[in-house]
Structure 1
Amino acid sequence: MSVLKEKILQSAIRLFTEQGYQATSIQDIADDCSIAKGSLYKHFSSKEELYISILERRQRDMIDAVDRIRKMQLPKRETYLEELAYQFDFYVEHGYYISRDHNELPPVNNDKIENVLSMMRRSMFLYYQDMLTRQYGADIDQWKWDATALLNGLIREYTFHLLFGFMPIDKKELALFIAERMDDLVEGLKKRSASPLLIDEHMTEYSHVDLNGLYASREGRRDALILKISSIIPDIAVPNQRKKELSEVAAMLQEESAQEQPRRFLQLALLRDLESESELAFYANQLLPLI
């Protein structure tokens, strides 16, 4: 992503938060960036596209953070607690959509934006189900949809109190509390042999969401950034020998990142070499959370 495109996104996030989506115009965002409106349209075709890009950025941030937690290789229970706690960190920082004050609701009567929001909600629901499956395994199979609905409800309700009640609840303690309540739920369901209320036939809309695809897109973004760096190297103002070295570094980074178990220390060393060049630093910094 270019520096200007990133600047436009950040301006839009701030203005949508401060003024609301409806009250913010493309001209407002262009003026805030000190560019002509036509220059903005080269990057985003409409205010709608800008809003969707922000939503997609939020989801990528969530996915990348979860991936970093999993890479910590903590015990299964600790990973579960860390992921739960991160939900509250994320929503307190970003709100449900854009504004942490929740003054900015998604635009109404916009099918394209509503479709994106609907897909994101289903993706998050399936992510919560994945969390429960990793924690409880086969014990949750019969009630996977009901248990996920209850976990989703707990997270949303407590997020509401954190955001709007300004309650001083420690997020780690909250994650532990919810995890223990889910333990109680699973044990209770097993003990009572309760029949599930939500079954596969009721949840067919979720069959169109590819949770694995969301995580796979992370590799796609990584590869695209490395390719972008490789394409820039021939035009930067350094001697040809340095260009050759940088091209080899980018190729080594691509090769190492494609390994089943990449050596992170090597990836970081290669990234540091790339970011030492000012023309590459912006893209190298974007790569950091993806390795």
Structure 2
Amino acid sequence: MTRKKEEIMQSATHLFSEKGYFATSVQEIADDCKISKGSLYNVFNSKEELLIQLIEYNQNKVLQKAVNISPESFSSPKEKLIKKIAVQFDGIRDNRAFITMLLRVLPPHDNPRIPWLMKKIRVTMMNWYKDRLMEAYGSLAEPYIWDLVIMFQGALREYANLAIHENKEIDFQVVARFVIERFDTMIRCTSDVEPFLTSQKMEEYEAFEPDQQYESPQEQIQKLLEELRGKVERLSMPRETQQESIAAVQSLQEEINKNEPRKFLIKALLLYLTDIKECHPLIDRIETVLQATYY
């Protein structure tokens, strides 16, 4: 990254966190960097592009510090986990202005790439916690891994909020050890409890690829419908039922592609397909995208 680009991103982070994204103009960012607006546009095509790169850069920076920890310096996977959590949250605290921008003043956005990017960050973090907990606990945690991720992430986030927003003196090395020790007890006592967040419920998160690129809602729908059709074709069921289900997916695809899709027909076709239990996770994902786009 060039020095000019880094200075622009630092100024944007400061101004977005202080004034908000919409209240900050490109000219103000340029003035803060002591460059012309034209020079700024030579680096970033738009204010939106600056925001997107700012989010991606800071997220990667926070995670990379934890990734770079050498595994040879720890006596056990749990000690390694404690150190990684502490390093990650120290990085978050050092990036206080960026976190404030994300949590306090980043508003809903017309550009669908922004909420997609925020979801990508959330899913990336959840998978990062999942992998770290599996490293530390292995098969003991596996049946409940997504429930543990939610509880673990939630606990740490509240400690981080106290440090970042209320300036509480918090040693994240101590906090990480405290939370991990509580999780030791929890994991030992869950062998006779059914998990709430099963792999089926979290299928979208498990299938997530960190390097995947943004897709428009229309592209997402088409891909999900193709996946749904393939799922129906592979299932073992009476031939007539299978053919009718494939026809329903085809009709759904045709209706969604119309200039003015009929919502009642889309909902009816999805309701018909919910009779196939194995397709429920895919149908849930389709409905989520449709609700944000067509309903």
TM-score range, shorter chain: 0.5 to 0.7
- Kept in 1, the 8 Å contact 2:67–2:84? The answer is no
- Following superposition, the deviation at residue 94 of structure 1 comes to 2.4
Could you tell me the percent identity over the aligned residues?
35
- Following superposition, the deviation at residue 114 of structure 1 comes to 0.9
Matched residues in 2 for 1:169 and 1:88: separation? 10
Unaligned runs of 5+ in 2: 213-295
- Kept in 2, the 8 Å contact 1:146–1:197? The answer is yes
1:61-99 alpha-carbon deviations (Å, 9 max, x no partner): 123201222356422222111112123313322249542
> Which residue number corresponds to residue 206 of structure 2?
207
Q: Cα gap change, 1:101/1:108 in structure 2, threshold over 3 Å: closer, same or farther?
A: closer
- 2:189 is paired with a residue of what secondary structure? helix
Superposition TM-score, scaled by structure 2 size: 0.65
Q: Cα gap change, 1:161/1:51 in structure 2, threshold over 3 Å: closer, same or farther?
A: same
> Which residue number corresponds to residue 129 of structure 1?
130
Matched residues in 2 for 1:210 and 1:95: separation? 28
Matched residues in 1 for 2:97 and 2:206: separation? 24
- Kept in 2, the 8 Å contact 1:81–1:175? The answer is yes
**1:194 and 2:193 are equivalent in the alignment:** yes
- Kept in 2, the 8 Å contact 1:129–1:144? The answer is yes
Unaligned runs of 5+ in 1: 215-291
Matched residues in 2 for 1:14 and 1:72: separation? 38
Q: Cα gap change, 1:97/1:106 in structure 2, threshold over 3 Å: closer, same or farther?
A: farther
**Could you tell which deviates more after superposition, 9-18 or 174-183?**
9-18
- Kept in 1, the 8 Å contact 2:81–2:132? The answer is yes
Q: Cα gap change, 1:28/1:7 in structure 2, threshold over 3 Å: closer, same or farther?
A: same
Tell me which amino acid in the other structure corresponds to 1:20: G
Tell me which amino acid in the other structure corresponds to 2:7: K
Q: Cα gap change, 1:139/1:103 in structure 2, threshold over 3 Å: closer, same or farther?
A: closer
Q: Cα gap change, 1:100/1:118 in structure 2, threshold over 3 Å: closer, same or farther?
A: closer
Q: Cα gap change, 1:27/1:100 in structure 2, threshold over 3 Å: closer, same or farther?
A: closer
Q: How does 1:267-286 map to 2 (within 5 A)?
A: none
> Which residue number corresponds to residue 84 of structure 1?
85
Q: Cα gap change, 1:70/1:187 in structure 2, threshold over 3 Å: closer, same or farther?
A: same
- Kept in 1, the 8 Å contact 2:20–2:101? The answer is no
- Following superposition, the deviation at residue 159 of structure 1 comes to 1.6
Superposition TM-score, scaled by structure 1 size: 0.66
Between Structure 1 and Structure 2, how many residues are aligned? Answer: 211
Matched residues in 1 for 2:102 and 2:60: separation? 21
Q: Cα gap change, 1:100/1:114 in structure 2, threshold over 3 Å: closer, same or farther?
A: closer
Matched residues in 1 for 2:167 and 2:7: separation? 31
- Following superposition, the deviation at residue 127 of structure 1 comes to 0.3
> Which residue number corresponds to residue 70 of structure 2?
70
**1:141 and 2:142 are equivalent in the alignment:** yes
- Following superposition, the deviation at residue 100 of structure 1 comes to 7.2
Matched residues in 2 for 1:7 and 1:179: separation? 38
- Kept in 2, the 8 Å contact 1:21–1:104? The answer is yes
> Which residue number corresponds to residue 26 of structure 2?
26
> Which residue number corresponds to residue 16 of structure 2?
16
1:190-245 alpha-carbon deviations (Å, 9 max, x no partner): 2xx1111101111122134225x59xxxxxxxxxxxxxxxxxxxxxxxxxxxxxxx
Tell me which amino acid in the other structure corresponds to 2:48: E
**1:35 and 2:39 are equivalent in the alignment:** no
Q: How does 1:77-116 map to 2 (within 5 A)?
A: 77-95=78-96, 97-99=98-100, 103-116=104-117
**Could you tell which deviates more after superposition, 130-139 or 106-115?**
106-115
> Which residue number corresponds to residue 150 of structure 1?
151
Q: Cα gap change, 1:83/1:100 in structure 2, threshold over 3 Å: closer, same or farther?
A: farther
- 2:188 is paired with a residue of what secondary structure? helix
The root-mean-square deviation of aligned C-alpha atoms, in Å, is 2.3
> Which residue number corresponds to residue 176 of structure 1?
177
**Could you tell which deviates more after superposition, 31-40 or 130-139?**
31-40
Matched residues in 1 for 2:176 and 2:61: separation? 20
- Following superposition, the deviation at residue 116 of structure 1 comes to 0.3
- Following superposition, the deviation at residue 130 of structure 1 comes to 0.6
Q: How does 1:194-273 map to 2 (within 5 A)?
A: 194-211=193-210
Q: Cα gap change, 1:79/1:44 in structure 2, threshold over 3 Å: closer, same or farther?
A: same
- Kept in 2, the 8 Å contact 1:95–1:101? The answer is no
**Could you tell which deviates more after superposition, 101-110 or 196-205?**
101-110
- Kept in 2, the 8 Å contact 1:85–1:171? The answer is yes
Q: Cα gap change, 1:146/1:60 in structure 2, threshold over 3 Å: closer, same or farther?
A: same
Tell me which amino acid in the other structure corresponds to 1:174: V
- Kept in 2, the 8 Å contact 1:92–1:100? The answer is no
> Which residue number corresponds to residue 287 of structure 1?
none
- Kept in 2, the 8 Å contact 1:91–1:100? The answer is no
- Kept in 2, the 8 Å contact 1:9–1:54? The answer is yes
